[in-house]
Each structure stands twice: as structure tokens, then as C-alpha cells.
Amino acid sequence: MIAITVNGKQVEIERTMSVEELLRTVEVPKNYLAVEVNEDVVAKEDHVSVMVNDGDRIEVVTLVGGG
């Protein structure tokens, strides 16, 4: 198992996988705007090629309205 952090929560995944696959595997908001891996923004077109590895910190950022 691989231990990662997604939006501040410890998560275990079975193996190294792409950002795209991770987004399908873990609970993420449907209207997410951006993904960061270890504080680096990953462009949507790179979700297939950027891999998530043991110890990585992933943040899925959404737009929240308010005032």
C-alpha cells in the first residue's frame, strides 16, 4: 500500500497511479478547479502523465462562493 495525503486526510492506495486515476479512486468534489501534487499545480492535460507516489501530498482545489 502507498500512503498519501489528499486535502489533509491520510489515504492509502494500492499502487502508484496517475493523477487522473487517483481522482477517480478517491472522493473529490465534482467541480474541482485545480490539482496540486506536493504544492506544484498539475495542468489538466498532465493528469494522465503525472504519477502519485508514496508520501505525496495532493490538494484538490475548488471554488467556494460567499461573501
pTM over 0.75? The answer is: yes
58 in Cβ contact with 36 (< 8 Å): yes
- Report yes or no on 67 lying in a domain: no
- Report yes or no on 20 lying in a domain: yes
- Report yes or no on 42 lying in a domain: yes
Tally of domains within the chain: 1
Residue 67's pLDDT band (cuts 50, 70, 90): low
- Is the pLDDT at 54 greater than 80? The verdict is yes
Residues sharing a CB contact under 8 Å with residue 43, sequence separation 6 or more, in sequence order? none
- Is the pLDDT at 35 greater than 90? The verdict is yes
Domain limits at 21? Answer: 2-62
Residue 32's pLDDT band (cuts 50, 70, 90): confident
- Report yes or no on 43 lying in a domain: yes
